[in-house]
């Protein structure tokens, strides 16, 4: 029965074009046809350095660093991650809930620690990504390959469509947000302090960690891990996973990404219902949704309010109409 159903489904033109398997010939073809004048070498070199330091950071973390430094780095991972998932993503890009001033200050500090561009730029790029997914106007268009959507786009001049289509978006809410604009204005000194200076100085002063160890582990290695996990949402979760809500789009349900990214891997759901503060059908620990639990907690103590969701009926209807059938099979098993 299942096989027949698979065959009955019409193949979408979107899905036929994708080539996930590693194809050496295609990689060589793409490299030969790359417009090298558009490569931003400064970024490519900085990313290369970051990866060298991270390898050294792994060595130091295993053999040299104090336990306190490891614990501190893990804590910074969660802070930076929440700055992205709860701050830049669910609050500022999608406005899926509202936050009081103190919460917005905390999230802006955490987002600065993550060093992923200022909030304004992050949210503007992300809104273009949602509106024009998988087209030239998508900053990390997954049709341009796994590497491009993962990190290649950060070393390459933007396609003109990103800028022209991006200019048609309404970003007035961001421009009116004093915290967002203040962070943008002072971004360079703020980001250097939050991402590298404090993570070096705090372990050095408080528990006499060697400053180089602190910088490599709590600075570079922790930064790099948060980066790759974030980038996996654009690469892996746009390639691998089921599509219970819309089988005609790239974004997919990817449990591994959800686990690493504090609940942000349920990307098929998220692209279909982007205003849902859970970015997933489920907000609990079972869905690894640490970010939703944190928003729920903030809402309980009055820091967050107006949390937006989608009704179960609407989810069910949409899954029935455009999904790949995987949601139904899961729910009928558990019923």
Q: At 215, list the tokens.
A: 């910088």
Nearer to ligand ST9, 230 or 292 (CB): 230
> Which of 85, 224, 268, 292 touches ligand ST9 by CB under 6 A?
85
Nearer to ligand ST9, 117 or 326 (CB): 117
Q: Please tell me whether residue 117 binds ligand ST9 under the rule CB under 6 A.
A: yes
Q: Please tell me whether residue 136 binds ligand ST9 under the rule CB under 6 A.
A: no
Q: How many CB atoms lie within 10 A of CB 44?
A: 15
Q: Please tell me whether residue 234 binds ligand ST9 under the rule CB under 6 A.
A: yes
Strands (E), the chain: 98-99, 304-305
> Which of 68, 110, 63 minimizes the C-alpha distance to 86?
110
Task: Supply the minimum distance, in Å, between the C-beta of residue 297 and ligand ST9.
Answer: 18
Nearer to ligand ST9, 132 or 204 (CB): 132
Task: Supply the minimum distance, in Å, between the C-beta of residue 40 and ligand ST9.
Answer: 4
Distance CA 26, CA 183 (A): 41
Q: Please tell me whether residue 233 binds ligand ST9 under the rule CB under 6 A.
A: yes
Which sign, positive or negative, has the C-alpha torsion 44, 88, 226, 284?
Answer: negative
Task: Supply the minimum distance, in Å, between the C-beta of residue 265 and ligand ST9.
Answer: 8
Which phi and psi (to 5°) does residue 115 adopt?
A: 45, 60
Q: Are 165 and 136 in contact (CB under 8 A)?
A: no
> Which of 115, 51, 56 minimizes the C-alpha distance to 88?
115
Pattern 40-59, ligand ST9, x by CB under 6 A: x--x----------------
Nearer to ligand ST9, 108 or 209 (CB): 108
> Which of 86, 154, 287, 319 touches ligand ST9 by CB under 6 A?
154
DSSP states along 236-304: GGGTSSB-SS-TTSS--B-HHHHHHTTS--BHHHHHHSTT-TTSSS--SGGGT-HHHHHHHHHHHTTSE
Which residues are at the interface with ligand ST9 (CB under 6 A)? Answer: 40, 43, 81, 84-85, 89, 115-117, 121-122, 124-126, 128, 139, 154, 157-158, 162-163, 166-167, 226-227, 229-230, 233-234, 261, 264
């Amino acid at each position: 029965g299942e096989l027949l159903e698979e065959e009955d489904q019409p193949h979408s033109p979107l899905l036929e074009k994708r080539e996930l398997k590693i194809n050496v010939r295609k990689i060589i073809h793409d490299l030969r046809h790359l417009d090298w004048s558009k490569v931003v070498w400064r970024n490519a070199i900085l990313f290369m350095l970051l990866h060298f330091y991270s390898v050294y950071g792994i060595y130091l973390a295993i053999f040299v660093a104090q336990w306190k430094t490891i614990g501190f780095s893990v804590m910074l991972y969660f802070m930076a991650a929440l700055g992205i998932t709860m701050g830049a993503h669910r609050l500022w890009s999608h406005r899926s809930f509202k936050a009081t001033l103190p919460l917005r200050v905390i999230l802006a500090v955490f987002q600065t620690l993550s060093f992923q561009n200022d909030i304004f730029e992050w949210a503007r790029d992300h809104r273009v990504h949602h509106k024009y997914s998988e087209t030239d106007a998508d900053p990390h268009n997954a049709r341009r390959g796994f590497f491009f959507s993962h990190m290649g786009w950060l070393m390459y001049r933007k396609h003109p469509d990103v800028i022209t289509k991006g200019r048609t978006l309404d970003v007035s809410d961001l421009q009116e947000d004093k915290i967002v604009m203040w962070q943008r204005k002072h971004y360079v000194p703020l980001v250097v302090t939050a991402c590298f200076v404090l993570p070096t100085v705090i372990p050095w002063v408080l528990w006499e960690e060697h400053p180089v160890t602190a910088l490599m582990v709590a600075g570079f290695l922790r930064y790099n891990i948060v980066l790759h996990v974030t980038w996996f949402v654009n690469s892996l979760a746009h390639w691998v996973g089921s599509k219970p809500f819309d089988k005609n789009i790239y974004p997919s349900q990817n449990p591994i990404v959800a686990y690493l990214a504090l609940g942000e891997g349920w990307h098929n759901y998220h692209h279909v219902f982007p205003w849902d503060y859970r970015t997933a059908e489920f907000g609990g620990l079972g869905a690894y949704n640490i970010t939703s639990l944190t928003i729920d907690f903030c809402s309980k103590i009055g820091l967050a309010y107006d949390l937006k969701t989608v009704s179960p009926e609407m989810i069910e209807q949409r899954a029935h109409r455009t999904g790949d059938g995987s949601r139904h099979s899961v729910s009928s098993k558990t019923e």
